[in-house]
Structure 1
Amino acid sequence: MKITGHFLSPTRQAEILPFETAPRPIVGFACDYPSGLSSGMHSHPRAQLLYAVSGVMRVDMQGWNYLVPPTTGLFVPADAAHAISMDGPVAMRALFMREDAATRVAQAPKVISVSGLLREVILAACAEPVEWDPDGRGYHLAELALDEIGRATPLPLGLPMPGDARLLRVACALLECPHDPRNLEAWGDVANASSRTLARMFRAQTGLSFRQWRQQARLTAALNSLVTGAHPTKAAATAGFDSVPAFGAAFRALFGITPGQARLLHSGR
């Protein structure tokens, strides 16, 4: 494991080492984390599927900010530097993947939908010993997990983050307060740049216009609110929408489900 920052103690590193070096294609790793904990930037020599039975994770990786609520998982390639923040208490259940296993499911980071079947397979894999019997249950769990991960639907829960320090100030402020109503002209004062410069750089560095980026950031924040139990009216306010129907239409256009359906994820339904 490579680390920058202060989160992972020598004891915790020693606990994770067997999962990073196990002679098995997949091993399950279970750990619960308190609200507000941030890992700092680090990497692992093996790919991971990060999943939480409960709680929401935010992951910064390779210029992207990913939201990982329950019923979703984030594939993290081997040696990819990433930082995880816990948005509320998180019960993490992750899969470490050997190189030959990881190449069967993905090459780049992606958020996937975790089916009920994959959820149970992940939990079962976490209950297996690190060096499970190659001829026993662990083998079948590993094969089923790889098949389910490979078939899973990718989800638009990643936001490209700008590299320019001025734009990054604006982006981080909007992630902290997504309903902030200021337009690009007002944000120009914060970034010490003209609105025209910000607009041009936003599209060049993220592939999205400022309006598109902010809309996705707002709706992603609303999803976070819904899956942690908030009512759609409150989620709409979080996303800066005055109209709940307009919020519902925009939410469904991005995520393919209604705010009410997203709220059911809070209870695991």
Structure 2
Amino acid sequence: MKIDWNRRTCARRGHVTYAPTEDTLRERLHAATALGDAWRCLRCGDFALGEPYGTGPAADAPLVPRGKALRDVIIMRFLAVERILRGLFVLMAAVAVWKFSNSRNSVHDLFDEYLTVFRPVARHFHYDLDHSPVVDTIRKTFEYRHSTLVVAAAALCVYALIEIVEGVALWMLKRWGEYLAVVATAAFLPLEIYELTEKISWLKIGTLVLNVLAVLYILLSKRLFGLRGGHAAFEAERHSASLMEVQTAAGAVA
């Protein structure tokens, strides 16, 4: 079953009505009912009772995402949420690394204490805890210098900040945020590919595929870096869409 995102969005956020000053379009968008005046929604095309939310020339009608444009907004918001959550996760990792760098000795002692407690249990299940890959990795972290851990924490903070700013900009549908998303995501693709050469996992593969698709989608749909006519074509498309909103909702043919 095909989902009508226009009506679904209106059901969640409400209708967007507009009264143009042009008499012909105004008559097509307006309907007199027994319950009062009704105006056609610029998103879903249904009539809604009550006063219009805006009025003015048709050229100044609000650009209400609908159809393909609305789908693009939903995809960009999905990418925005993913970026913000990733940034918050990386930020928590940065805080953990910074705290560990300042209390490494106490953490090391606590780790050895718990390792002593669990060693007999592991031996009972015939598991060599002392030569476990996880235990070996944790022990290696205790050998890192304090300065190295501080630099790592700072780098993680910068990366988290980029991800959060990128996510907020994508949520607000800012064009500079789309450029930032493409540049930042593409810059880390070689690192993700290198990690796959070290160890393959479905999580790494899924992350790489998602980032590649995100870069291609934003590049092509938003016409960045001169693609498909560049910024001029993108603005022309938006302007024509703002003019077409009233005409389409009124049933006019361009």
How does the TM-score come out when normalised to structure 2?
Answer: 0.29
Greater share of strand residues, 1 or 2? 1
Mark the structure with the bigger radius of gyration: 2
TM-score by length of 1: 0.28
